Every structure is written in C-alpha cells, then in structure tokens.
Amino acid sequence: MSTAAVPYEANSTILQLVDVGKVYSTGSVKVEALHSVSMQVARGEYVAIMGPSGSGKSTLMHILGCLDVPTSGTYHLAGEDVSTMSEDALAHVRNRQIGFVFQQFNLLASLPAWRNVELPLCYSGVGRAERKVRAVRALERVGLGDRINHRPGELSGGQQQRVAVARALVTDPALILADEPTGNLDSHSSADVLSLFAELRDQGRTIVLITHEREVAGAAQRVVGILDGQIDTDGQLALATPSSLASLR
Amino acid sequence: MNWGETVRTALEAIRSRRMRSSLTMLGILIGIAAVMLTVGLGQGAQAQVRDQINQLGSNLLIVSPGSTTTTSGIRGGRGSASTLTTRDAAALASQVVAPDIAKVAPVVTGSQSLTAGATNWTTNVVGTTPDWLPVRARSLTEGRFFTPAELNDAAPVAVLGSTTASELFGGRDALGQSVNINGTAITVIGILNTAGSSTTTDEDDQALVPQTTYGSRIASSGNASGISTLYIQATSTESLSAAYQETQKTLLATHGVTAAAADFTISSQQSLLTTATATDRTLTVLLAGIAAISLLVGGIGVMNIMLVSVTERIREIGLRKALGATPRTVRRQFLVEASVLGLCGGVLGIVLGLIGAQVLPHFLNQPVTIPPLAGIGALGVALIIGIVAGVYPASRAARLAPIDALRSE
C-alpha cells in the first residue's frame, strides 16, 4: 500500500485539508477526534474514506460536508476557505457545492420523489418551473423517470437511495458526499447504488464515500484509511480482489 | 426560499397532521369566537340603553326632586318629597334668567284607572305642558296636542299613547271619544306616535293631560303645583353645560338653598348613559377577560404543538439545513407554520362568532352588536398569538446543529 503523496494540480483540486484538527469539549473533558489531517481530492476522483467505528471518519465527513468546522487547520472547498465561514455562508456552500447521500436516505415521507429531489433548489432560489424540470431530469438520470410521483414509502430501499442520489445531483455540486450509502441496503441494492456511483465517476463527478465496509471501499479508485483520528493509509485498496470488485459492479 | 414557498411548506406540514392541527386551531377558534361574542353582547346591551336614553329627546337635562348627594347628615332622598313646583318651571322658562334653555316641560305623573265605556285600563297619567312634545322629541299620529290656552283653562283633554288607545278602544278610532279618569270625563284629542318601551316605562302606554287639569281634576292629593320631573331642553349641544349651570343657579335661588343643601338633582342624558352602561361595561370587561384567557390558553396550545413538532421533525430540520437552509429560513418556516395555525383558527373563530351573533339573540333576548372592526382586530390578535407562540419553538429549530439533528433517531 503506497502512502506517497500524489502531485495534484492546483486548478483541479476540489478539496484540500491542511493540518485539520477537531477537538470536542464537553465541560472539562476534551476529546481529540481528528489530529492533523491533511489530504487533497482532485476533480473527478472517486475516493473512499474507510475506518472502524470511533476512528474519526464521521467527524471528517462532517467537516468535509461543511456540517461542522475544524478547530484547527484549514479546509478549502472548490477554491474557498470554508474553515472560518459563518453559519449562513456554510449553509450556502452546502447548498451549492455539496450533494449529500445519507445512510438513512433522509427523504421527506410526505413528499413525492420529485419534490424531495427539488428541495435543495428551493433553498437556492430557483423558480418552480425550472426546479421541476431539473428534478425530473435528475430522477431520469438515476433511472427513476417513471417514479417521479411516488412517495418514499412506495419505493424500495434501493430506489429510495437512488432518489437521494438524484437529490444530491440536482444542484450540480462540486462534490458528492456519501455517508455509508449502502449501510441500510441489501447486497443487491448496494451493488445497484455503487454501480450508479461508478457511472457518475465515469461522467467526471467527484465522489467521496465514507464506509467501514471493505467491499464498498473497493469500488473506489482510492481509499483513505482513518485510524485514531489520523490518516493511516492512502492509495489503492490492495486487498480488493478483482473478483470482489466485479461482483459489486 | 421565498415567502410563497415557505407558506406552501407550512400548509403542507399542517395538512399532513390534520387531526392535531385542527385541535390546535380549535383553541384559537373558541377563544376568538368567545371574545367576539362577549364584546358583541356588551356592545349590544350598551347600544340598547343608549337608544332608550336618546329616545327621551335631545340636548336634555332632567331635574328630579330630592338629592342623593349627602355630605352631612340625612337629607331627603330622591323622590321622597316633591320639592319642585310649577314656579321653578316658569322661572327656568324665562329667557332672561336662562338664555341657554330652549324649552321646559314640567311633568307630574300618577297611576290612574281610565274607563271608556265598559273597558278599564290602568296607566300612567302625565300632567304636563304643550312643550312636552318637542322636548321629548315625540309627534302625533292623529289629532293634536293640547294648547297653552287649554293648559290655562285646565281643559278636560287628553293625548293617549298608542297602546293605551288600543287597549281602551280596541280597533275603534279613539279621537273625540271620552275617557273617564278619576271621575272626570276627558276628551281624547290626539294619539302619540309609537316610541317603543324602555326598560322602566312603556313610552306607548300613557295618557297626557294639561298639568293644570292633572292638578285640579285628577290628582288625589291637594298639591296642585307640585311636579315630579322637569325636562329641560338646551338650545344646542354646545350650550348644554351652560344650561346646566343656569338650571342649578335658578333652582338654588328659587328654593333659597346653597349648593351643599340642594334639594334636587340634575342629570343629563350623558350622565344617565354613563350610569346605565357602567354595569354593562363592567360585566363585558369581566366576560371578555375570561374569553381572553381562553384565547391565551389557545395560544399556549399552539406553542406546545409547535414544540412537539420541532422535536418530532428534528431529522427533517437537520436534512433541510444540510441541503442549504439557513437558520433564518428554518426559523421562518416554523414561524409561518405557527402563524398559519393562529390565522386559520382566527378566521374560523370569526365565522363562528358571526354565526353566534345571529343565533344568540334568539336564545338570550339580547342584541349582539359586533363592531365592524372586530373582525379585523380578531384576525390581527390571532395572527399575533400564532407568531408569539411560534417564536420560541422556531428559534429552537433554527439553533439545531445539522449534525446533531441528522444523527438523532
């Protein structure tokens, strides 16, 4: 496994972490969740962040997703320093630059698929007519063009996660951030969602996927291993056998 | 997210929890309707009293014998002895003594039995002067009022109220007929217009005779010049207080007493109105206060349900924040939701209040007057209650950190 730094061109870098640390303070108790994490992701890369429970990968995901800010170090996303941004500015960055895919899907049960997909566009001030057009296009993109009026309860788990992927795509974000996207899916649906990610990667999307499953991480080109709040390994997942990859595709 | 979008989202959230939203609105609805109806009842009762007092005439001062303003010891109470006389009336009628007084109508009354043929009817017989008609702002439907000459001669003539006339003569024409009052045959020369009844006296059931006729032929007591009430009409609304002063000064002089020992009471329509509506107002304020408390409870209900809603939808809030909702947008969404609950409750409350205003008079025999601005006021109050009730839950929702919100199960 190689940990050698890969030379990235500045203009193709989507995100860059430099010496990022995160300390949680609960009264007098201080917990250091991340310690001096530095990494870069280039445009079009498909990166999996892997680590066991408590390794700090969720904290890293929150910082990458601008849901939380680091206590030290800097984080540049799409050329902007987001580590010192205000809450409102962060909301704006999340809206424009990041598409989230969650383990729990987090779809609103009362709304049909297309209304769920258009939700991020509501917050960026896109007009109603255009929102619907773009939502339907995104749903078609994930193969659910015939399910736009179905509510989440009327869709299978895999389909719900595809709606969530459509929602992540609809704003045309710089980064798609998937937090354990297959954690609640059976193996068939998992493969389904992962092949969707592979397609998106092929179209030039930048994807960062957080997982603790080796098989899922194996679908990515590059795997960043996190252990005890630090980057442990960075590079191709050596243990991912060609056969296991094939079965996932 | 613009306002239209926010309102639509709020409506969807309310619609998706139909039962709970309706029960929440019910609190506001009942409160608004209760406040409207109690205020309407109070206003209706006050309007009724005002009408009755205005019916007495316009720019009127009413002098009654006796005084209720005791400052030392015991003095004759109101009506215990008639201290007013026709001399007082004559003095006040003088343009020199009282330039601001237009007309004076002394009145002496007594309950008497009237007989016409075989029919018997007991009513209030009023001895007065020809000025009674303009002072009390009444008119005749038939015949004429008695003249100053008839007053001088103590002529046996009478003007009957419409009820009195129909009780005595049925459908027959009363004009020119003879009525026997206390042994005196009196000719009916006119019939009064209909005025409706006040709470104390039936204005349509009375018989008016010249004051001299009453004193010399009808009254059983010997006091021919004693009168029970003086109705004084001021020249205009502006001169009412001047007329009051003149009346007081003149009567004190003719009675030879000081203001502290006054043996008469002067009241204006305004003071009558104030006294008469004071109790009504107290009751209205009390009832409206109770209704306002129910409105407050309704508001607390809205706040409670909004807090529950924030807790329940913690994941939704987290998701919306992750997708780009700013704290302000989230706060606005919950504020609008609470306001819509308040507003819908308010609108339904107004509808219920208006229906009640139509239905209630049939059961209570009391008029309900809902002021035209009450609807707008109620709507404003309902909206404000919604907003106030929504502030705390909304700011709690806005303060939620997206990660904490997303993490919660």
Q: Is residue B326 part of a domain?
A: yes
R_g over Cα of chain A: 18
Contact indicator for B123, B205 with CB cutoff of 8 Å = yes
pLDDT at A242: 44
User: Phi/psi at B60 (nearest 5 deg)?
Assistant: -100, 140
Do the Cβ atoms of B324 and A125 come within 8 Å? no
Q: Is residue B70 part of a domain?
A: no
Least Cα distance to A91 among B407, B408, B310, B327 occurs for: B327
CA–CA distances in Å: residue B38 to residues B281, B360, B364, B392: 11, 11, 12, 31
The residue of chain B with its CA nearest to that of A63 is B403
Residue numbers in A near B328 (CB within 8 A): 88
Q: Is residue B165 part of a domain?
A: yes
Distance from CA of A74 to the nearest CA of B (A): 20
Domain ranges of chain A: 10-248
Reduced to 3 states (helix: H, G, I; strand: E, B; else coil), residue B110 is strand
Do the Cβ atoms of A123 and B322 come within 8 Å? no
Do the Cβ atoms of A108 and B325 come within 8 Å? no
Contact indicator for B393, B306 with CB cutoff of 8 Å = yes
Contact indicator for B343, B383 with CB cutoff of 8 Å = yes
Residue numbers in B near A160 (CB within 8 A): none
Least Cα distance to A61 among A34, A29, A97, A91 occurs for: A34
Do the Cβ atoms of A120 and B328 come within 8 Å? no
**What are the residues whose beta carbons fall under 8 Å from the beta carbon of B221, sequence distance 6 or more?**
none
Instruction: Give the span between the Cα atoms of B331 and B390, in whole angstroms.
Output: 9
Domain end residue (candidates: B198, B231, B264): B231
**What are the residues whose beta carbons fall under 8 Å from the beta carbon of B270, sequence distance 6 or more?**
none
Answering whether pTM is above 0.80, one says no
The structure tokens listed for A59 are 């904290």
pLDDT at B330: 92
Q: Is residue B237 part of a domain?
A: no
Contact indicator for B247, B101 with CB cutoff of 8 Å = yes
pLDDT at B348: 94
Residue B114 φ/ψ region, left for φ over 0, alpha for ψ in the -120 to 50 degree band, beta for the rest = beta
Instruction: Give the span between the Cα atoms of A165 and A103, in whole angstroms.
Output: 11
pLDDT at A5: 42
Least Cα distance to B210 among B192, B195, B189 occurs for: B189
A62, A92, A104 member nearest B403 (Cβ): A62
- State whether ipTM is beyond 0.90: no
Q: Is residue B351 part of a domain?
A: yes
Q: Is residue B243 part of a domain?
A: no
DSSP string, B51-99: HHHHTT-SSEEEEEES----SSS--PPTTSS--EEHHHHHHHH-TTT-T
**Rounded (5°) CA angle B12-B6-B336:** 85
Mutate: best of B9, B14, B323, partner A, most A CBs <10 A:
B323
User: pLDDT tens string for chain B (409 positions)?
Assistant: 778 888 988 898 898 889 989 998 998 899 999 888 888 888 888 888 877 777 777 788 888 887 655 444 444 444 445 678 888 888 888 888 888 888 888 988 888 888 888 888 999 899 999 989 888 888 888 889 999 998 888 889 999 998 888 888 887 888 888 898 888 899 999 998 887 655 556 778 889 999 888 888 887 665 666 788 888 888 888 888 888 888 888 888 888 888 877 888 888 877 777 777 777 778 888 888 888 888 888 888 888 888 898 888 888 999 999 999 999 999 999 999 999 999 999 999 999 999 999 998 888 877 888 888 888 888 888 899 989 989 999 998 898 888 877 776 5
Q: Under CATH, what is the fold of the domain A10-248?
A: Rossmann fold (3.40.50)
Residues for chain B: how many in total? 409
Where is A146: in which H helix or E strand? Answer: none
Least Cα distance to B243 among B67, B60, B55, B58 occurs for: B60
> Domain limits at B45?
3-51+276-407
Do the Cβ atoms of B326 and A119 come within 8 Å? no
Instruction: Give the span between the Cα atoms of B41 and B86, in whole angstroms.
Output: 43
Low-confidence ranges of chain A (pLDDT < 70): 1-11, 237-249
* C-alpha of B264 from chain center: 27
**Do B206 and B287 share a domain, yes or no?**
no
Neighbouring CB atoms inside 10 A of A112's CB total 17
Number of domains forming the structure of chain B: 2
**Do B37 and B110 share a domain, yes or no?**
no
**Do B313 and B387 share a domain, yes or no?**
yes
Least Cα distance to B53 among A103, B5, B45, A43 occurs for: B45
CA–CA distances in Å: residue B258 to residues A123, B121, B227, B253, B264: 83, 44, 21, 8, 11
| B178-181/B119-128 β-pairing | unpaired
Buried-exposed string B269-304: b where 16+ CB fall within 10 A, e elsewhere = beebbeebbeebeeebeebbeebbebbeebbebbbe
